[in-house]
């Protein structure tokens, strides 16, 4: 299924009021989402922040797009995203000045491996008067992968070189796709390890994952039969928050506006969620029986009951 470039260096492609201009690879250009330079341009990659799928949803392709964790002054954009999360997780009445965050916080597991939490979030009091944890690990969706990325790169390179380039040309469909499976595989380890660290640290702590709408839908579909308890107004310890495009806002030149999607929220118990991950497999007897090959090149039929004729 084709995709279209939704944002090029923070500029949405689906309007034509302002012509988007290409940037030179390897240069230092300001990232529109954080106080720093675009890491993709510095690496001589095309500055694609997101692509749009055929169903209209936006797939984040840059690790800094949703809410960058690089240390430095928080931009208005970052503060806005974090406040939106705090109002969703704690209470709608929470003010920006009450919300506290730490970024890229080191967490160590028992084998000596270091993990970094994107954020730790709490309130100025250190305790929440509302349901849920007082403090929590806050993880942001990193850049999601695309299939046939070379085709997207070639398409943008052709647009950059075209003297008659237009936004319409930039947003032409490209025969590429999104790979939710890979994004999910990366997230599983984060769920298990960082969530477990949070649970062990103190009984009042938890973990929150913020993802784009396509990844939220993918995860929800995988867990549809788990019957996870809805603990939104109770003692939840894990939350999954989906961000969607703010389609109710008027389109303006600049970034595609995101906001917490009230229809893509999951508040549940960490242990129950992890158990649901473990219970996804079904018995597969055919995988453990049938034609096998011995190390000297002979074929052997292994029955389902595991008993091989003639074996002592």
Give pLDDT tens digits for 35-61: 999 999 999 999 999 999 999 999 999
The whole-chain average pLDDT of the chain stands at 91
Higher local confidence (pLDDT), 275 or 29 = 29
Q: How much is the pLDDT for 149?
A: 94
β-pairing verdict for 48-52 and 58-60: antiparallel
Structurally, the chain folds into a number of domains equal to 1
Domain membership of residue 80 (yes or no) is yes
**240 within 8 A of 219, measured Cβ to Cβ:** yes
User: Structure tokens of 96?
Assistant: 């920006």
Considering only residues 304 and 163, tell me which one the structure prediction assigns the higher pLDDT.
163
305 domain residue, yes or no = no
Q: How many angstroms separate the Cα of 270 from the Cα of each of 1, 31, 136, 197, 309?
A: 34, 35, 12, 11, 47
The closest of 254, 272, 137 to 201, measured between CA atoms, is 137
What is the extent of the structural domain holding 192?
3-279
Closest CA to 169 of 57, 62, 2, 20: 20
Decide if 288 is inside a domain.
Answer: no
Percent of the chain scoring above 70 in pLDDT: 98
CB-based contact 249:214 (threshold 8 Å): no
174 within some domain: yes
Indicate whether 82 pLDDT > 80: yes
What pTM value is reported for the model? Answer: 0.89
Query: Does 312 have pLDDT greater than 50?
Result: no
Give the count of beta carbons closer than 10 Å to the beta carbon of residue 80: 16
Q: Residue 207: is its pLDDT beyond 90?
A: yes
In tens, the pLDDT along 266-280 reads: 999 998 988 888 887
Whether 95 maps to a domain, the answer reads yes
In which band, very low, low, confident or very high, does the pLDDT at 184 lie, cut at 50, 70 and 90? confident
Residue 301 in any domain: the answer is: no
Q: How far apart are alpha carbons 228 and 189 in whole angstroms?
A: 19
Instruction: Choose from 115-129, 187-201, 296-310 the range with maximum mean pLDDT.
Output: 115-129
90 occurs within a structural domain: yes
pLDDT band at 189 (very low <50, low <70, confident <90, very high): confident
116 within domain boundaries: yes
**pLDDT surpasses 90 at 114:** no
């Amino acid at each position: 299924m084709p995709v279209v470039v939704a944002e090029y260096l923070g500029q949405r492609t689906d309007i034509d009021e302002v012509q988007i201009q290409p940037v030179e690879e390897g240069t230092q250009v300001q990232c529109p989402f954080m106080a720093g330079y675009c890491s993709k341009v510095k690496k001589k990659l095309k500055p694609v922040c997101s692509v749009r799928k055929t169903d209209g949803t936006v797939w984040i392709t840059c690790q800094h797009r949703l809410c960058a964790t690089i240390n430095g002054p928080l931009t208005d954009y970052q503060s806005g995203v974090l406040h939106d999360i705090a109002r969703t997780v704690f209470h709608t009445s929470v003010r920006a000045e009450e919300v506290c965050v730490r970024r890229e916080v080191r967490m160590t597991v028992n084998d000596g491996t270091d993990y970094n939490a994107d954020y730790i979030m709490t309130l100025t009091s250190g305790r929440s008067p509302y349901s849920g944890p007082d403090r929590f690990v806050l993880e942001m969706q990193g850049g999601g992968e695309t299939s046939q990325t070379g085709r997207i790169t070639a398409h943008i390179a052709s647009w950059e070189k075209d003297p008659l380039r237009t936004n319409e040309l930039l947003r032409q469909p490209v025969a590429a796709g999104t790979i939710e499976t890979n994004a999910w595989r990366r997230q599983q380890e984060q769920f298990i390890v960082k969530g477990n660290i949070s649970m062990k640290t103190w009984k009042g702590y938890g973990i929150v994952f913020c993802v784009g709408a396509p990844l939220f839908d993918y995860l929800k579909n995988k867990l549809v039969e788990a019957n996870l308890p809805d603990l939104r107004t109770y003692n939840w310890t894990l939350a999954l928050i989906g961000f969607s495009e703010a389609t109710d806002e008027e389109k303006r030149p600049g970034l595609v506006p995101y906001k917490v999607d009230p229809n893509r929220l999951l508040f549940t118990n960490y242990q129950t969620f992890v158990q649901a991950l473990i219970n996804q497999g079904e018995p597969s007897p055919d995988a453990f029986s049938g034609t096998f090959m011995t190390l000297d090149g002979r074929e052997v039929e292994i029955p389902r009951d595991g008993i091989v004729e003639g074996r002592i």
